[in-house]
Amino acid sequence: MSMVPSPPTHHRRLRWQALTGFIALSAIVGAVAALAVATRSEAQNLLARPSWAPPGWLYGPVWSALLLLVAVAGWCYWRTDGETRGFAFYGLCLLLTLLWTPLFFAGSAHVLALADVVVLDFVVPITMMEFARRSKLAAWLLVPYLLWLLFSTAVNAAVVWLN
């Protein structure tokens, strides 16, 4: 007799469809970001950036990997019958992530983008704590996302300072 509880029946039936849904949701966030970057103004290309900012080509692959991890984290949490509170913070993370790129690139609203990412810097750890109550794996999968956001905050702050 196994001491590990099996997932609820509905989760066994829906787990792959749910994973697809989480990936699709993250892909929408990535697609909005890609559109915002593609529509940036020429003035945006001329902004002073810190010397330690990564090259532009790196952002797409990094964000693709991070959003996949975020999707899998949400799915892992969902598989535990995650609480609404955890999903509320998770959704807020996705929404703030969705807003940052259009604010920064398409809108050239660098100060608003900085405010957005600073809020994210607080919401992601809260989400991790909520997730950790039910799934340590779900919480740990968000660590690279948090680290990249902290780095992005520094880059965004430097752009505001230099311009």
* Residue 107's CATH number: 1.20.1260.100
- Is the residue at 4 inside a domain? no
pLDDT level of residue 10 (50, 70, 90 thresholds): low
Q: Count the alpha carbons within 13 Å of 72 in the hemisphere toward its beta carbon.
A: 14
**Comparison of pLDDT for 43 and 130, the residue scoring more:** 130
Query: Does residue 3 sit within a domain?
Result: no
* pTM of the full structure: 0.87
Q: What pLDDT score was predicted for residue 72? A: 97
CA 91/CA 142 separation, integer angstroms:
13
Q: What is the pLDDT confidence band of residue 2, given thresholds at 50, 70 and 90?
A: very low
8 located within any domain? no
Mean pLDDT for 96-101 is: 94
- Domain that includes residue 114, residue range: 17-162
Residue 6, in any domain of the structure: no
Nearest to 16 by CA among 69, 84, 70, 71: 71
Any domain includes 83: yes
> In angstroms, rounded to a whole number, what is the distance separating the alpha carbons of residues 136 and 77?
9
Residues 134-138 have a mean pLDDT of 96
Domains held by the chain: number: 1
Whether 25 maps to a domain, the answer reads yes
Does 12 fall in a domain?
A: no
